[in-house]
Structure 1
Amino acid sequence: MNAAGIIVEYNPFHNGHLYHINETKRLSNADVIIAVMSGSFLQRGEPAVIDKWTRTKMALQHGVDVVVELPYAFSTQKAATFSAGAIDILHHLKCQSFCFGSENGQIEPFLRSVERLAEKNEQLTALVRLFMKEGMSYPSAQTKARDAIFQKDPLPLDLSKPNNILGFHYVQANDTLGSPLMPLTVQRKGAGFHDVKASGSIASATAIRKRLFLTNEAIDDVMPSSAAAYLKNRTLHSWESYWPLLRYHLLSIHPEQLASIYEVEEGIGPRLIQAALKSDSFAAFMERVKTKRYTWTRLQRMMVHILTNTDKETMQQAERVSFIRLLGMTENGRAYIRSIKKDIPVPLLSRTASGSNLLALDIKAARIFASAPNFPKDYADSLFEQEYSAPPLLL
């Protein structure tokens, strides 16, 4: 069976995601679509708006055949690490191709850009380090270094666009593995990644979350009706839900202890603690700690690791994917998994009980995801139960 992979967060699932799935099927001619989906916390350092089980249902009802979880050790990382983990999983699951959305819409510029940047890797790395020592954030340093190196002969890919950036790292990760998968891309339609307004029937996930949390506008016009139904009268997650927990953690820990947390740099601890003392919301806290050196996204990822008490040593051990957590599948997906199961080189887990030593970070993240102080007890209890005992969803 021909399998194509996609890398998703579905935060939440919307019409643009449905378009991506359908175009992936068309371009790849795949019999099976496999989605690697982030779990409780996401790449931009925020909790998923709704739990991974509900997002899995959304995916399976709209054309995905297999949903597996991208582990915390990769899902909460910068683009290069996030992409490496996801592509590794798709490779382990014997996908012939993978497909991503991009502003560019053509695959050749991604391939050429990866090749040209590889040729200048040492020079690029040295410049990035130099610019970061001057106080630049990592993304700004990368941009300035690329501009300096390719000033006379620019790269064919615009790496200022968020989906192009992720796509570039997917192609780069695949290249590092020896290019086992055929890369495909679909041009992003309608609203941009960060647009807060809809473009026709397609809105960004950012715009949909704004409707859910701030404006209380209807979402039925920008989401499949069955996906929209899952969000109505449900407990929704945002950083504000976890602010009391994060604030308590910041105020109860010594600055030196903070330095052991992943992504927390030496010297920022006192600043975080002072901001927590003065802030009555997560948004106010972030405004106080944001600087030119620390982007909003980088700070949010830092806060996720503080919230989950994830230290540097633990994260640095997760160099490669060492297990695959199966969240759900259709009958077609189950037939595919059966056909390849013996050839998957890492454990394929259907429950945490079957490999809890490998899942410590994900289990901890799921516990905290369910533990916001304002969540109804029955809702939190159901999430705990699903994490420990629920088998993969079968559509």
Structure 2
Amino acid sequence: MKATGIVVEHNPFHNGHFYHIKESRNKTAADIIIAVMSGNFLQRGEPALVDKWSRSEMALKAGVDIVIELPYVFATAQASDFARGSIALLEAIGCDAFCFGSEEGTIEPFTNTYEAITTQQQTYQNLIKQYMKLGLSYPKALNEAFAEITKDSNLHLVDLSKPNNILGYHYVEAAYQMNACMKPFTIQRIVANFHDDVDESQSIASATGIRKAIFEEGSIGELAKFMPKTSLDHLLTWKDSVGVFGSWPQFWPLLRFTIIRSSLKELASYAEVTEGIEHLIYDAATKSETFEEFMTRVKSKRYTWTRIQRMLTHIYTGFTWEALKSHQNPTYLRVLGMTNDGQSYLNQKKKSLSLPLVSRVAATKDSLLDLDIRATDLYQLGLQSSKIERPIGLDYRKTPIII
């Protein structure tokens, strides 16, 4: 069985994701689609709208055959580490190809860009440091450095100012660096850009636009044209059974408590907290009644909204620099769900997988997995919903979903 891997968050699953799955299957002639999916905290440093099991089931009902969890360490990391963890898992589970959505739409510019950067790696890294010293954020410094080293190139290179192109480049980079057997593919991202609001004249909207509509307008039913019915049903069920959706404004009371009860030394020990910003974070938390007010006080040209949110995620979950440095590579394949075809694939491949397969958490001892379990518990507590029974220990009670 030929397998193609995709890297997803599905926050929430919408028609654009459905298109990605269908086109990935067609473009790579895949029998099986395997999704590496972030858990309950995401790459932009925020809680997921709904939990990882709900999002897994949405994917399985819309064309994915196996969902494996991207561990917290990589799911909440900067783009290069997020990509490295994702590609390592897809390689370990035996994918023949991986396919990502991009603004570019063709793979050659990505491979050309990797070659261009690799041949001038030291110059590239030095330029990034120089631009950051001038006060630029990391993404802007990266883009400026890239423009500098490629200004005389005649190759067709990828535009690294686009968010999906950036992630796509890092997927290709990770695959080459680990000598992966998988072949890279990309498909054109269509209609909605990454941050676009919902456009009622279209049938595809960005996940960002859909979340914004849910939080600002509150009516999920009006989003029916932008997602498969199975996804809409899951959101409606979640609203009825849980009552609230995951977001930093929802989590703010617990996050604020965590910040204020911590010493400055403790805040500085958490991953991605650098350059004395713990002073600003603490001061802003004492003065801000809402999450939006807090972010207004903290955000600057040097620190992007996403980077600050990743710091806050690590503060909230207690994830330290020491823990980050201790976990450089994935150590297991955690199955969240599968179809019957996915189950057949795993039965065929289980003896050749390069990482152990985890279906029962209680039977596995792994410090990387322990971080995922803690993140799940804190996510459930952050929802602060009286409708949730026994929020602690869900990872031990949940078995893989089978569709």
Shorter-chain TM range is over 0.9
Tell me, in whole angstroms, the C-alpha distance in 2 between the residues paired with 1:24 and 1:131: 37
Correspondent of 2:320 among 311, 314, 317: 311
Q: Which amino acid aligns with 1:14?
A: H
Q: 1:169 to 1:21 in 2, by over 3 A?
A: same
Residue 140 of structure 1 and its aligned partner are, at CA, apart by 1.4
Alignment of 1:152-163 (within 5 A): 152-153=152-153, 156-163=157-164
Alignment of 1:139-158 (within 5 A): 139-153=139-153, 156-158=157-159
Q: Which runs of 5+ in 2 are unaligned?
A: none
Alignment of 1:2-41 (within 5 A): 2-41=2-41
Correspondent of 2:371 among 361, 379, 389: 361
Tell me, in whole angstroms, the C-alpha distance in 1 between the residues paired with 2:265 and 2:393: 36
Contact in 2 for aligned 1:196/1:204 (Cα 8 Å): yes
Residue 373 of structure 1 and its aligned partner are, at CA, apart by 6.0
Task: Give the match for residue 173 of structure 2.
Answer: 172
Residue 151 of structure 1 and its aligned partner are, at CA, apart by 2.0
- Runs of 4+ in structure 1 deviating by more than 3 angstroms, as ranges, are 383-386
Task: Give the match for residue 292 of structure 2.
Answer: 283
Superposed CA RMSD: 1.3
Tell me, in whole angstroms, the C-alpha distance in 2 between the residues paired with 1:181 and 1:275: 46
Residue 379 of structure 1 and its aligned partner are, at CA, apart by 1.8
Q: Which amino acid aligns with 2:160?
A: L
Contact in 2 for aligned 1:326/1:350 (Cα 8 Å): yes
Task: Give the match for residue 182 of structure 1.
Answer: 183
Tell me, in whole angstroms, the C-alpha distance in 2 between the residues paired with 1:352 and 1:240: 30
Q: Which amino acid aligns with 1:331?
A: N
Residue 179 of structure 1 and its aligned partner are, at CA, apart by 3.8
Contact in 1 for aligned 2:32/2:65 (Cα 8 Å): yes
SS state of the match for residue 57, structure 1?
helix
Task: Give the match for residue 57 of structure 2.
Answer: 57
SS state of the match for residue 69, structure 2?
strand
Residue 178 of structure 1 and its aligned partner are, at CA, apart by 1.3
Task: Give the match for residue 236 of structure 1.
Answer: 245
Residue 31 of structure 1 and its aligned partner are, at CA, apart by 0.8
Does 2:74 match 1:74? Answer: yes
Q: Which runs of 5+ in 1 are unaligned?
A: none
Residue 364 of structure 1 and its aligned partner are, at CA, apart by 0.8
Judge which range, 385-394 or 63-72, deviates more.
385-394
Contact in 2 for aligned 1:261/1:309 (Cα 8 Å): yes
Tell me, in whole angstroms, the C-alpha distance in 2 between the residues paired with 1:370 and 1:149: 46
Task: Give the match for residue 211 of structure 2.
Answer: 209
Task: Give the match for residue 384 of structure 2.
Answer: 374
SS state of the match for residue 325, structure 1?
strand
Contact in 1 for aligned 2:6/2:36 (Cα 8 Å): yes
Tell me, in whole angstroms, the C-alpha distance in 1 between the residues paired with 2:113 and 2:309: 29
Task: Give the match for residue 352 of structure 1.
Answer: 361
Residue by residue over 1:42-72, the C-alpha shift from the partner in whole angstroms, topping out at 9 and shown as x without a partner, is: 0000000001001111011011000000000
Q: 1:380 to 1:263 in 2, by over 3 A?
A: farther
Does 2:255 match 1:246? Answer: yes
Task: Give the match for residue 392 of structure 1.
Answer: 400
Residue by residue over 1:287-338, the C-alpha shift from the partner in whole angstroms, topping out at 9 and shown as x without a partner, is: 1100111100000000000000111011111111111111000010001001
Contact in 1 for aligned 2:376/2:394 (Cα 8 Å): no
TM-score, length-scaled by structure 1: 0.97
Q: 1:373 to 1:66 in 2, by over 3 A?
A: closer
Does 2:198 match 1:197? Answer: yes
Residue 385 of structure 1 and its aligned partner are, at CA, apart by 4.8
Matched positions, count: 393
TM-score, length-scaled by structure 2: 0.95
Contact in 2 for aligned 1:38/1:69 (Cα 8 Å): yes
Task: Give the match for residue 270 of structure 1.
Answer: 279
Contact in 1 for aligned 2:258/2:316 (Cα 8 Å): yes
